[in-house]
Structure 1
Amino acid sequence: MTSEPAYQALFLGAGPQMQCGVGQFTRLLGETIEKLDPGGSTTLTLTRAEGSVGDIWQAVGSARNVVCNFPIVAWKRVMVRPLLAMAMARLRNRRVILLQHEWGGLHWLRRLTYLPALLLADSIVMFSPLVLHELADDPVVGWAARKCVLAPLPPNIEAPTAPADSKLRQRLAAARQDGRLVIGHFGSIYPGKQPNALLNICASLRERGLKPLLVYVGSFIRGIDRVEEDFHARAAELGITDDVIVSGYVASDQEVFGIFSEIDAFCYPLEEGITARRGSILACVQSGRPIIVTGPAEADEFDHHPRFKALIDRGAIVLVPRDANDVAYADKITSALKVATIQPPFDYEGWWRDVAQAVLSQLRPNPSSEISPNSADQTPRSKT
């Protein structure tokens, strides 16, 4: 007689390599679900050296559901093992939940790696109607949108009680004392974030005599494009090379928020507009500084995410019309700095409980479990 699985959910992880944003999200989601259902979940570590076929088979058999945030770690690492785990899950009649953050913004070669995962998934949890519609409109895999539900994305990092000092923080503090306007941009730098557009806005601010200093808190994503080379070439063309700082990797959340404390405002000119999947913007909100960002492309972008919508409604996030030029962004930055706003405490744990409940609602429940996920009505399916 076959014994009942010991766990409700098996999370596919990558151990210490999970320092990247994808891995960090998986770790925090698993920890939150464990708080809601103690003892109900476990993690299978998959690396280039760990996770044999036997290990995967045994781990998959121990849980009713397999949850995969694919890829489980940064690109070009550990691609085959999670797909094998999902295939074994289907073979053993386990439910597969795939967490999908992007689609249209991915390079087509990267989208190809998702095809097996989309096929194997029983349910696909997405975080933005825009991304869901991109998937639905894809002529090859648009059928997968029928499996999709929406969940509210939380920020990956929490503001610490005591931010840490750093050389960059001291440099920014000195710049502000000299009357410079420090504009921030947090997160990985890649074409989808239009890093060069912010350079143009910096040049516009400079023409007004505001002495802007741009600080990109993050690093460039290595890929097949020339985003870093083009970025520096554009800064040189505008004559603002000395007005731009790229921090590179920042070791701790304490250092990140220490740097945030010396930033006057954040700005994100996004071609796709703001979406409900922008965790980097949610991290910036916790600094209490205004965030100026392009308005959403979808009217219903935040209907499933009331916490995110509330940030926009109360002015913590300032929207710029999608057809706005550099001057309009500069105007929004300067006007936002003149408005004193009081931000209520940020309920970081509440944000994570929301997404955990949304994922729990997609799991095949354990008959003996006392957890009864009740957020299915908060995760509307695609309108397609």
Structure 2
Amino acid sequence: MTSDPRYRALFLGAGPQMQCGVGHFTRLLQERTEKRDPGSSTTLTLTRTEGTFGESWRAVGSAQSVVCNFPIVAWKRVILAPLLALAMAKLRRRKIVLIQHEWGGLHWLRRLTYIPALLLADSIIMFSPLVRRELADDPLVGWTAGKSVLAPLPPNIEAPKETADSELRRRLAAARKAGRLVIGHFGSIYPAKQPNALLHIGAILKARGLEPLIVYIGSFIRGVDNVEEDFRARAAELGIADDVIVSGFVASDQEVFGLFNEVDAFCYPLDEGLTARRSSVLTCVPSGRPLIVTGPAWPDEFDHHRRFKQLIDRGAIVLVPRGSDDDAYADRIIAALKTPSTQAPFDFDGWWQDAAKAISVKTT
């Protein structure tokens, strides 16, 4: 066994080939940790072909703590490998830091796969007081919320200096030129984000003669739910099937922000309300477009996250009170479009330094 670990933190990752938000977050966090303290961390890559038992054992022994953003990739892949690494860390008396983004919004089968990690963790990093309450209310593992601390979540994507053209961008530009109202929604599409709610708002805007075109910049998460089928059926029922576009996977940040430039306003009607873990909402802010979002469920949601709170205070994010009907969202969208948009400087690196600092405290 290694008596004098070389690194303060070992990050469990899935390599750059895994194109998913969880993997991207881990890479950015490790990069910022290294920037703050060069040589203090390293990464163990776990895929179906990388990260043998011996490699994992040696890597765990080389660090004081193991940081796991679980699941490290899409939840149906490489589930056992990180759990095995965490078990090794426990055996080798290394500190285990688990990063937990959500709880109540997860399908119950996904929550089952998280339970071993929750039990093994010494510290649980969470980004939202609401999610911490959800975990605390769980009858089986609610006690593990006592190991949790809050950290400020940064956005996953930095606005590039230049944007890229695409067929979809040209389609949106043509729609705007023809007088259509382009409403955007960015990020993965899954039940917890209530994708169908925006369809209802689009139907109201269409009934008001505003010719909306709703563009979902992202793709459906594959799972056991019939999310896409239900979404398509609901759009057809509302008579707006031809007014909805789902981009699917977008290859580059330059293309993403090229699409953002052709959006008039973003709208996120969320049943749980806005939480401090909504990285997809934060990513839209540098576009300067109005962001209409459901207000938080609890007044303390952003007390730990001064940068997020500042965005709300200065009106970059427009809150709609929870419980409002769809007409209220339509009204806010129309009102926001009458206000000149501003593209204020966005300190992407500063957001990530805040997160790295908060999390690094728990690795010592």
Tell me the TM-score range normalised by the shorter chain. Answer: over 0.9
**Length-normalised TM-score, structure 1:** 0.94
4+ residue segments displaced more than 4 Å: none
Please list every run of 5 or more consecutive structure 1 residues that lacks an aligned counterpart in the other structure: 365-384
Q: How does 1:26-37 map to 2 (within 5 A)?
A: 26-37=26-37
Residue equivalent to 1:202: 202
1:43-84 C-alpha deviation (Å, 9 max, x unpaired): 001011111111111000000010000000011100001011
Distance 2:233 2:24 in 1: 33
What is the alpha-carbon distance in structure 1 between the residues aligned to residue 35 and residue 213 of structure 2?
A: 42
> Could you tell me which residue of structure 2 aligns to residue 91 of structure 1?
91
Query: 1:3 Cα deviation (Å)?
Result: 4.0
Alignment check: 8 A CA contact 2:287 2:343 kept: no
Counterpart of 1:368 in structure 2 is none
Specify every segment of 5 or more residues in structure 2 that has no aligned partner in the other structure, as ranges.
Answer: none
The answer for the alignment partner of 1:303 in structure 2 is 303
- Distance in 1 between the 2:68 and 2:221 partners? 22
**Structure 1 residue 342: Cα displacement:** 2.8
What is the DSSP-based 3-state SS (H/G/I as helix, E as strand, rest coil) of the residue aligned with 2:362? coil
* 1:16 counterpart SS class: coil
**Counterpart Cα distance in 2 of 1:101 and 1:363:** 18
* 1:287-338, Cα deviation, whole Å (9 max, x unpaired): 1101001000011000000000110111110000111111100000000011
1:242-283 residue CA offsets vs partner (Å, 9 max, x unmatched)? 110000000000000000000000000001000000000000
Verify: 1:241 aligned to 2:241, yes or no: yes
Structure 2 distance, partners of 1:221, 1:124, is 25
Specify the alignment match of 1:142 in structure 2.
Answer: 142
CA 1:139 to 1:3, structure 2 compared with 1: closer, same or farther past 3 Å? closer
State the distance in 1 between where 2:278 and 2:342 align.
22
Q: Say which SS state the counterpart of residue 15 (structure 1) adopts.
A: coil
Q: Is the CA contact 1:201–1:327 (under 8 Å) kept in the aligned structure 2?
A: yes
Q: Which residue of 2 aligns with 1:169?
A: 169
Partners of 2:43 and 2:183 in 1: CA distance = 40
Distance 1:153 1:208, change over 3 A: same
| CA–CA separation in structure 2 for the residues paired with 1:16 and 1:253 | 15
Q: Work out whether residues 17 and 73 of structure 1, in 8 Å CA contact, stay in contact via their aligned partners in 2.
A: no
Compute the RMSD of aligned alpha carbons: 1.0
1:303 alignment partner, SS class: coil
**Structure 1 Cα separation of the partners of residues 342 and 249 of structure 2:** 30
Quote the Cα distance in structure 1 between the aligned partners of 2:230 and 2:90. Answer: 44
Residue identity (%): 74
- For residue 2 of structure 1, report the CA deviation from its aligned partner: 5.5
Letter in 2 for 1:183: I
Contact 1:265 1:292 in 2 (8 A): yes
Structure 1 position 314 matched with structure 2 position 314:
yes
How much does 1:341 deviate? 4.1
- Partner amino acid for 1:104? G
CA distance in 2, matches of 1:77, 1:350: 32
Matches of 1:185 and 1:103, distance apart in 2: 22
Q: Is the 8 A contact 1:292 1:318 kept in 2?
A: yes
C-alpha contact 2:194 2:271 (8 A) present in aligned 1? yes
* Aligned 8 A contact 1:180 1:212 in 2: yes
How does 1:323-342 map onto structure 2 within 5 Å? 323-342=323-342
For 2:359 and 2:148, how far apart are their aligned partners in 1?
12
Q: Partner residue of 1:191?
A: 191
Distance between the aligned counterparts of 1:51 and 1:260, measured in 2?
38
- Conserved? CA contact 2:181–2:213, under 8 Å: yes
Q: Is the Cα–Cα contact under 8 Å of residues 285 and 316 in structure 1 kept in the other structure?
A: yes
Superposition pairs for residues 106-125 of structure 1, below 5 Å? 106-125=106-125
Instruction: Tell me the distance in 2 between the aligned counterparts of 1:2 and 1:170.
Output: 57
Matched pairs, number: 364
**Does the CA contact (< 8 Å) of 1:180 and 1:211 recur in 2?**
yes
C-alpha distance 2-250 of structure 1, shift in aligned 2 (>3 A): closer
1:199 counterpart SS class:
helix
Q: Distance in 2 between matches of 1:6 and 1:180?
A: 58
Is the Cα contact below 8 Å between 2:11 and 2:26 reproduced in 1?
yes
3-state DSSP of counterpart to 1:43: strand
State the distance in 1 between where 2:17 and 2:127 align: 24
**1:61 alignment counterpart:** 61
Tell me the equivalent position of 1:45. Answer: 45
What residue number does 2:131 align with? 131
Mapped to 2, the partners of 1:162 and 1:194 lie a distance apart of 32
1:15 CA displacement: 1.1
Confirm or deny: 8 A CA contact 2:96 2:121 kept in the other structure: yes
Secondary structure of the residue aligned to 2:345 is coil
Residue 293 of structure 1 is matched in structure 2 by 293
Deviation at 1:344, TM superposition (A): 2.3
Residue 298 of structure 2 aligns with an amino acid whose one-letter code is E
